[in-house]
Amino acid sequence: MNIKENSKILKLSYVFKNYENEIKEAKQTKKDYEEFLDELLEKEINQRKENGIKKRIRYAKFPIKKYLEDFDRKLYNPEFIKEFEELDTLDFIEKKENIILVGTPGAGKTHYAIGLGIKACMDGKSVLFISVPNLIIELKEAMSRSQLTAYKRKFEKFDLVILDELGYVSFDKEGCEILFNLLSNRNDKGSIIITTNLTFDRWEEIFKDAMLTGAMVDRLAYKAHILDLSRNVSHRYEETVSWKNSKNM
């Protein structure tokens, strides 16, 4: 067998596609065998890392790509600077701690949550992003197909789950109960990031039951990082003004 066949069997995709050019370059630059092999294997490893990151980001199902580098921390309470710096390290995932981002619509909650999620993907972590209303729909569908147990097991295996838009839609009793059960089972097994427009004292508006609401807050908020990112002006409004100004120039 030749190099192409062997690299295919060994699933060395970079070598499979590029070995001819790599050999040609090595001959031109007169690389010794050790240097050539070392660089070739390093490129194979780097490609696998890049492919793994792309795969994890794709599986996470982010609605849009947002990065921590583009998140302007200066717009928020200066007291949060150290908190942001700590969360950016992703140590909260290793510690299985939760994050609850509270704030007005357009405050940047989802941007920051996605930014942390993408960084986690780049760090080799498995991530799921889903809006809470869509999660309820998926849970009910899984229940109707008698697949709720399998759904819960899969849900628990993610290193990080991001639940977006808690508070925009209230649920019926069945939805509240299965969501509570799902999050209770996951608690202590992996980190959860929740974005919500409602402070804790208003969560009863969603869950419609004081006892269930209290139990939910108790589980999710225990040792959690809680940040109120509310702003007087939303980032969407600022971007719209900037866009309109650029059109008028």
pLDDT recorded at residue 67: 96
pLDDT recorded at residue 244: 37
Average pLDDT, the chain: 88
Number of folded domains in the chain?
2
Q: What percent of the chain has pLDDT over 70?
A: 93
Q: Report the predicted TM-score, pTM, of the whole model to 2 decimal places.
A: 0.84
Does a structural domain hold residue 245?
no
Q: Which amino acid is at 225?
A: H
pLDDT recorded at residue 234: 47
Residues 124 and 179 occupy one common structural domain: yes
pLDDT recorded at residue 241: 34
Q: Domain with 202 in it: what CATH number? A: 3.40.50.300
Spans of the chain, pLDDT less than 70: 232-249
CB 191 within 8 Å of CB 223? no
Within its chain, how far is the Cα of 76 from the centroid? Answer: 21
pLDDT recorded at residue 246: 53
Residues 96 and 214 occupy one common structural domain: yes
Q: How many of the other CB atoms lie within 10 Å of CB of 167?
A: 18
pLDDT recorded at residue 105: 85
Residues 30 and 88 occupy one common structural domain: no
Residues 56 and 73 occupy one common structural domain: no
pLDDT recorded at residue 245: 47
Q: What is the dihedral of CA 67, 73, 74, 76, to 10 degrees?
A: 130
Residues 81 and 53 occupy one common structural domain: no
Which residues, in sequence order, are bridge partners of residue 92?
none
Residues 142 and 174 occupy one common structural domain: yes
Structural domain boundaries, residue 199: 68-240
Residues 72 and 39 occupy one common structural domain: no
